[in-house]
Structure 1
Amino acid sequence: MNADAQEYDDARTAFLEREGYRVARFTNSEVLRNREGILIEILLQLRRSPSPSRSPAASGPLPLPHGEREL
């Protein structure tokens, strides 16, 4: 990865984390060669730190982050 691509990736990761997302990165080759291992790693990360949820008094789905739209 060149320096410009790494800088872009770092900025994108920082933005997503500020918006409340967790970012896990895997190379294309890792995904193609070790899909099960990737899925296990994602599951382990979710178990260590589950996604935030709404308070019990709130109803409905979590709001979409700024800039995102529902499909």
Structure 2
Amino acid sequence: MLEVDGDTHDADSAKDESRTAFLEREGYRVIRFTNRDVGSNLVGVVEAIGVALAARPLSQPSPQRGEG
């Protein structure tokens, strides 16, 4: 899961940490960037996403209807 956080997230990092922990328990991987990162360093953001995907590839797609 990719999340882009605005300035309001700076004040409530405990809520973000709790939400991230919940999502990770559900099997999601959370990658966060700030609006500032996306606006000023989009190439770096895209590279970081690529590194994260390479480290842990996406799961296989669900079988087609009737398969498996």
Distance in 2 separating the partners of 1:14 and 1:51: 19
**Other-structure match for 1:29:** 36
Q: Secondary structure at the match of 1:44?
A: helix
**Other-structure match for 2:19:** 12
Letter of the 1:33 partner, please give it. S
Structure with more of its chain in helix, by fraction? 2
Structure 2: 5+ residue stretches without partners: 1-9
Superposition TM-score, scaled by structure 1 size: 0.67
Structure with more of its chain in strand, by fraction? 2
Q: Which runs of 4+ in 1 moved over 4 A?
A: none
1:19 is displaced (CA, Å) by 1.3
Q: CA RMSD in A?
A: 1.9
Distance in 2 separating the partners of 1:24 and 1:37: 13
Letter of the 2:38 partner, please give it. V
Superposition TM-score, scaled by structure 2 size: 0.70
Identity rate, percent: 42
1:31 is displaced (CA, Å) by 0.5
